Structure 1
Amino acid sequence: MNVIANKQIILGVSGSIAAYKAAELARSLSLGGALVDVIMTEAAQRFVGAPTFQALTGRPVLADMWALPEDGVVGHVALGRRADLVVLAPATANTIARIAAGLSDDLLTTTVLATSAPVLCAPAMNPQMYANPATQANIATLRQRGVAVLEPGFGRMAEPQVGLGRMPEPAVIEGHARALLGRAGGPLRGRRVVVSAGGTHEPIDPVRFIGNRASGRMGFALAGAARDGGAQVTLVAGPAALPPPPAVDLVRVETALQMRDAVYAAVEGADLLIMNAAVADFRPAERAERKIKKGDDDEMLLRLVRNPDILAGLAARRDLVKVGFAAETHDLAAYALSKLERKGLDMIIANEAVASIGHDDIEVTLFDAQGAQRLPRQPKEQAAAAILEAIIRRWPARLAPT
């Protein structure tokens, strides 16, 4: 599921103060196992030195079209031919305009023109330059030609100005890069996956609620792993303080009833549902319209009613691979197997609640009709990839690429 491992990624760096952020992107992609060749424009080298990128990637930085390591007269197009992905970050207004015009007057524009690989563009420029009709027309042209152009961020620029034009954060760019590579060759390409994550908040009054300690990290990691596999991912997330994985469709909910409705809508036409959310079993029978005052009473009685079982309501969906989670404090296997049968699941993933909720790593056991598979304790991002791989192996026909 490491979709960037051994992939040839061209990172084109243009002349912007945001070039320093591209160094972080180069480092992250390289640590992920990608072979990153950095192409710097002449203007980019005025902001960040080439030795910085060479140290982070372990590969020579390229800038001069006439001084390439390839032999022969095709050296200037060899980079584009062998690339699996081209990332332009930061992409200035000038670079975007030159690529839209089809120019090939330096190594970066020549590489883009010569490649058949996906191209990902992360604009970075002054807000007025970004809003200029010429820039917007050039971006529209690139999108019409199949280039994935990200929306820039809003915030304070290098100059004392606030607006739309900041380069997206490196983690966001990498997420979209992984999505493009996954859609090109991932094991879940063409499939639709729905993941639920986080807990639910069941309101008592406008300021209080019943909830649990779920952070949402495991579900977010599963959504990211499915995205890396090439799937179109819908993430239905309860309240969580984590940034969601880029390049997934995010649906925010608060209560169990809202999560039920969102999940049922999302699974229409889906191939796989992973229900990781810690949905509250009960909710207050009534919600006070105003904040409840404690007054002089020493206790307060709260009547609860049962929330619907979201997975049990999908038991009849035989076309949908359904995977649930069981976080237990004792008798892990017994409770997990009971839920597997009672909810009509294809697989259930069991974990010890106290040792996993709020922690960065997790140890899980996968139960299905064929038996149990235990995964060692590992970071939740790695566990998510291992879980997706196990699911794909278990149902290759139902989840094969399309």
Structure 2
Amino acid sequence: MLHGKKILLGISGSIAAYKSITLLRLLVKSGADVKIVMTPAARDFVSPLTLSTLSHNTVLVDLFDEAAWANHVMLGRWADLFVVAPLSCNTLAKMAMGICDNLLLATYLSATCPVWVAPAMDEDMWQHPTTIRNLAMLQGFGNHVIPVNTGELASGLVGPGRMAEPEDILLQIQIHFAESGKLAGKKVLVTAGPTYEPIDPVRFIGNHSSGKMGLAIAHELAARGAEVQLVAGPGVTAPARPHIQVIRVNTAAEMYSACLQAFEAADIAVMAAAVADYSPVTVAGEKIKKKEGGLVLELQKTKDILKELGNRKKKGQFLVGFALETNNEKANALEKLSAKNADLIVLNSLKDEGAGFGNDTNKITIYDREGGEHIFPLKSKSAVAADIVGMIIKKIYA
């Protein structure tokens, strides 16, 4: 299934590096051409000679070797996929911060292909706030994090942090290549983040959306070959990435205009933004001074972007909406699916722990026009994005 695919395997200093030997054998057996880059610390856990023999390629380790330094840009452009397995806590931190002090990190910063990482560390390290932040940063850059397993760890503890098994990583890679390219040539509109509706020059009405879900969807769509226009609200961190054009807006009105323009040429639209439902009728030209008594704001409804796109949808266009609910979740989602002429509605509830604004995880249910209900467990937002894009592909090629 991987015949002719070029995979770059990165190995960092972790006891789980012994699993990389099995992963390498599985990749080669599946027909992939595998090259390996290691951190200097990884040599303490697995022999470059063993890896070189199994891969039939020279294993690169040293950043300042003349040939290796010339190769790091080439490696990042040669590969169809860069998999770092295991990803140690130390290498994770360096990747998140853009530190470049070894060949693996130099190659990562040069890579133009999708990057996947398989973390491996002890339970306390895995659950540390710094690790959680660093993983979120990697995902925000568009990298795919392979979930860890729970089990016995090198310390003797039992808990989360074990690197995924090589067979499971291979299966995910096979699925990735089976589905990658299916959206080649497709133009996709994605919205992400909040909108800010100004009250005066310094105040606004907004919400807690971080844009992480929409950003993850945009990255997943681009990884599968689509050309993405990402309409991003304020505060959304959207690093430059091939095949993603970022259009920045602030207000619901600006997002409405940008979406209508982009939707004309779009094959698919995914409305993941948390657009304000109301905006002030009057915006003060100067900062409103604090006075005795209250302040009354007159609000007006904003234009319904999803509904307008549903009204304008042409044959062949595919429209996905989101529903964030706190009560009567299913009924409200199904009503929205029908009223907005959407093809899919992605429901998530603020009642679900780990879901909703600001989290790095989400728990969704997808409803389709055929009456299907597709329930997914709590996952990282990058994994949720893969589920959503997978459902889109399934529907448009049904």
TM-score using structure 2 length: 0.62
Distance 2:177 2:258 in 1: 25
Q: Does residue 338 of structure 1 match 2:328? A: no
Equivalent of residue 265 in structure 1, options 261, 264, 275: 261
What corresponds to 2:152 in structure 1?
none
Distance 1:240 1:312 in 2: 25
Displacement, 1:185? Answer: 4.4
Q: 1:208 to 1:380 in 2, by over 3 A?
A: same
Distance 1:251 1:169 in 2: 29
What corresponds to 1:142 in structure 2?
none
Q: 1:276 to 1:53 in 2, by over 3 A?
A: farther
Equivalent of residue 319 in structure 2, options 304, 322, 328: 322
What corresponds to 1:9 in structure 2?
7
Q: 1:331 to 1:233 in 2, by over 3 A?
A: same
Give the 3-state SS of the residue equivalent to 1:196 in structure 2.
strand
Distance 1:332 1:276 in 2: 17
Q: 1:90 to 1:186 in 2, by over 3 A?
A: farther
Mark the structure with the bigger radius of gyration.
1
Equivalent of residue 207 in structure 1, options 189, 202, 207: 202
Give the 3-state SS of the residue equivalent to 2:256 in structure 1.
helix
What corresponds to 2:280 in structure 1?
284
Q: Report if aligned partners of 1:275, 1:324 keep a CA contact under 8 Å in 2.
A: yes
Displacement, 1:383? Answer: 1.2
Distance 2:179 2:328 in 1: 43
Give the 3-state SS of the residue equivalent to 1:305 in structure 2.
strand
What corresponds to 2:230 in structure 1?
235
Q: Unmatched 5+ residue regions in structure 2?
A: 28-33, 83-97, 117-141, 143-175
Residue identity in the other structure for 1:359: N
What corresponds to 1:256 in structure 2?
252
What corresponds to 1:376 in structure 2?
377
Q: Report if aligned partners of 1:183, 1:231 keep a CA contact under 8 Å in 2.
A: no
Distance 2:12 2:381 in 1: 26
Q: 1:351 to 1:317 in 2, by over 3 A?
A: same
Q: 1:284 to 1:95 in 2, by over 3 A?
A: farther
Q: Report if aligned partners of 1:183, 1:190 keep a CA contact under 8 Å in 2.
A: no
Mapping for residues 377-392 of structure 1, pairs under 5 Å:
377-392=378-393
Q: 1:290 to 1:368 in 2, by over 3 A?
A: same
Residue by residue over 1:185-242, the C-alpha shift from the partner in whole angstroms, topping out at 9 and shown as x without a partner, is: 4332222222111111011111110001111111111112112222122211112354
What corresponds to 1:359 in structure 2?
359
Q: Report if aligned partners of 1:200, 1:239 keep a CA contact under 8 Å in 2.
A: yes
Equivalent of residue 213 in structure 2, options 212, 218, 226: 218
Q: Report if aligned partners of 2:7, 2:81 keep a CA contact under 8 Å in 1.
A: no
What corresponds to 2:129 in structure 1?
none
Residue identity in the other structure for 1:361: T
Distance 1:172 1:345 in 2: 39
What corresponds to 1:137 in structure 2?
none
Distance 1:156 1:69 in 2: 30
Q: CA RMSD in A?
A: 4.6
Displacement, 1:265? Answer: 2.4
Displacement, 1:264? Answer: 2.1
Percentage of matched positions with identical amino acids? 35
Q: 1:116 to 1:286 in 2, by over 3 A?
A: closer
Q: 1:176 to 1:187 in 2, by over 3 A?
A: same
Q: Does residue 195 of structure 1 match 2:193? A: no
Mapping for residues 95-106 of structure 1, pairs under 5 Å:
none
What corresponds to 1:303 in structure 2?
298
What corresponds to 2:36 in structure 1?
38
Question: How many residue pairs end up in the alignment?
Answer: 303
Residue identity in the other structure for 2:379: Q
Q: Report if aligned partners of 1:239, 1:253 keep a CA contact under 8 Å in 2.
A: yes
Distance 2:269 2:43 in 1: 40
Residue identity in the other structure for 1:187: K
Q: Report if aligned partners of 2:79, 2:113 keep a CA contact under 8 Å in 1.
A: no
Distance 2:188 2:219 in 1: 11
Q: 1:157 to 1:351 in 2, by over 3 A?
A: closer
Distance 1:190 1:90 in 2: 39
Residue identity in the other structure for 2:194: G
